[in-house]
Amino acid sequence: MIKLASRISQIPTSLTLALPPKAKAMLADGLDVSVFRAGQPDFDTPVHIKEAAKQALDEGKTKYGPPAGLPPLREAIANKLQQDNGLSYSPDDVVVTNGGKQSLYNLMQVLLEPGDEVIIPAPYWLSYPEMVKLAEGVPVIIPTYKDTGYRLTPEQLRQAITPRTRLLILNSPSNPTGIVYTPEEIRAIAKVIIESDILVVSDEIYEKILYDGAQHLSIGATSSEAFERTITVNGFAKTYAMTGWRVGYLAGPRKIVNAVKTLQAHSTSNVCTFAQYGAIAALQHSQDCVEQMRQAFAERRHLLLDALDAIPGLSYPQPGGAFYVFIDISKSGLNSEEFCDRLLESQQVAAVPGVAFGADDHIRLSYATDMETIRKGLIRLTKFVETVALSNQLLV
């Protein structure tokens, strides 16, 4: 009889990484499913990035490298953090990881003792609580609401802090809501972090995908006291359409960074060497490709939000960033899984239930998909909502 460690037995599989079996079966049967589940840009990686990786391969850059990442990449990241974010890290304060995900995982491993508390505002990216649990920490979920724009308020943060609190995970722009904290809101959160002397992990993976003048401010850039308490996490996946390359990074206080280097040296070693050369090219070449993809997302977002605005009974926080819209379905009388199951079965539209993000009265649609899928999918969603409205009189 095989017995698994309890640390993994209590962790559910990731609801967003794969299509649900029913949607897969529908696609296999040749059905036309409108898929709004992607957590990744649908664009190909820009050519110059691919060329740099190909060249690295041809030049034999296929050996082990330093576990913390190639020095020229760490230097390019330190420069980027200085120029774009106003964060003064030396290359030695940077670790290159297998995506932003491994940065976050590593941080929980090196920072948490059993029972340490980590404050996570909900709706949250679904892996945060599981990573905390895998490190034997305790996720302290703080719900956020429509009236505060789905943002954690400084008062909520203050109230949640106990002697066991180690850190806050802050994610702006947010997955799943797309909300972006304003610079003032970031400063107000930073103030509480400093007063209470806790750490903040700032997940800035969507920082370049912004709309309607939304401004991204790195919490570590708000003051030297905040900087000392911040670990900045970012990556190449979303900005450069490089999800499969698995290159991300963290930067923070030297003591934490050194601990992550040690952990990485005994777990994964370096990120794929030639992928790191692609990442260097991503940072060193023109950033036009980033703006082109952002503009494409902006057009899709426009189409999607306009169509949603015409559906009675649904509401959502205005997404200032990322490529998601998080729709409040509470008036349907259905929970998020029922809503998504029925939507898939009756209209062949695949969305992600909000329960995965700690909000069971919401669903997440991703607009990292083409305009035709958005057009067709929204017609179907409208029909679905009309049927639900007719059957339970709740939405109208």
Residues in region 83-122 near ligand PLP by CB under 6 A: 99-101
Q: Does 178 bind ligand PLP (CB under 6 A)?
A: no
Identity of the residue, 26 or 53, whose beta carbon is nearer to ligand PLP in the bound complex: 53
Contact 174, 389 (CB under 8 A): no
Tally of helices (H runs) and strands (E runs) in the chain: 14, 12
Q: How far is CA 315 from the centre of its chain?
A: 22
Q: Which two tokens stand for residue 105?
A: 């995982």
258 CB-near residues (< 8 Å, 6+ apart): none
> What is the residue-wise DSSP string for 255-312?
HHHHHHHHHHHTTT-S--HHHHHHHHHHHHS-SHHHHHHHHHHHHHHHHHHHHHHTST
Q: Does 235 bind ligand PLP (CB under 6 A)?
A: yes
Q: Does 123 bind ligand PLP (CB under 6 A)?
A: no
Residues in region 256-285 near ligand PLP by CB under 6 A: none
Q: How far is CA 222 from the centre of its chain?
A: 22
Nearest approach in angstroms of CB 41 to ligand PLP is: 11
Sheet holding 352-353, edge to edge: 324-328, 362-366, 352-353
Q: Does 222 bind ligand PLP (CB under 6 A)?
A: no
Closest CA to 300 of 393, 249, 374: 374
Identity of the residue, 185 or 203, whose beta carbon is nearer to ligand PLP in the bound complex: 203
Nearest approach in angstroms of CB 240 to ligand PLP is: 11
Residue from the set 26, 39, 137, 330 that interacts with ligand PLP by CB under 6 A:
39
Identity of the residue, 243 or 270, whose beta carbon is nearer to ligand PLP in the bound complex: 243
Closest CA to 161 of 195, 127, 122, 123: 195
Helix (H, G, I), strand (E, B) or coil at 40: coil
Q: How far is CA 244 from the centre of its chain?
A: 15
Nearest approach in angstroms of CB 99 to ligand PLP is: 2
Nearest approach in angstroms of CB 247 to ligand PLP is: 8
Q: Does 171 bind ligand PLP (CB under 6 A)?
A: yes
Identity of the residue, 85 or 243, whose beta carbon is nearer to ligand PLP in the bound complex: 243
Nearest approach in angstroms of CB 90 to ligand PLP is: 23
Q: Does 248 bind ligand PLP (CB under 6 A)?
A: yes
How deeply is 255 buried, as exposed, middle or buried, from its count of CB atoms within 10 A (0-12, 13-18, 19+)? Answer: exposed
Residue from the set 130, 185, 203, 328 that interacts with ligand PLP by CB under 6 A:
203
Identity of the residue, 234 or 347, whose beta carbon is nearer to ligand PLP in the bound complex: 234
Q: How far is CA 99 from the centre of its chain?
A: 11
Cα 395 from Cα 386, distance rounded (Å): 8
Nearest approach in angstroms of CB 35 to ligand PLP is: 16
Nearest approach in angstroms of CB 176 to ligand PLP is: 8
Nearest approach in angstroms of CB 174 to ligand PLP is: 7
Q: Does 377 bind ligand PLP (CB under 6 A)?
A: no
55 CB-near residues (< 8 Å, 6+ apart): 277
Q: Does 175 bind ligand PLP (CB under 6 A)?
A: yes
Residue from the set 156, 202, 243, 373 that interacts with ligand PLP by CB under 6 A:
243
Nearest approach in angstroms of CB 37 to ligand PLP is: 12
Helix (H, G, I), strand (E, B) or coil at 298: helix
Residue 236 per-residue DSSP state: S
Residue 257, CA atoms < 13 Å, CB-side half-sphere: 23
Helix (H, G, I), strand (E, B) or coil at 36: coil
Q: Does 205 bind ligand PLP (CB under 6 A)?
A: yes
Q: Which two tokens stand for residue 230?
A: 């911040």
Identity of the residue, 46 or 332, whose beta carbon is nearer to ligand PLP in the bound complex: 46
Residue from the set 161, 190, 198, 237 that interacts with ligand PLP by CB under 6 A:
237
Where do contacts with ligand PLP occur on this chain (CB under 6 A)? 39, 99-101, 125, 171, 175, 203, 205, 235, 237, 243, 248
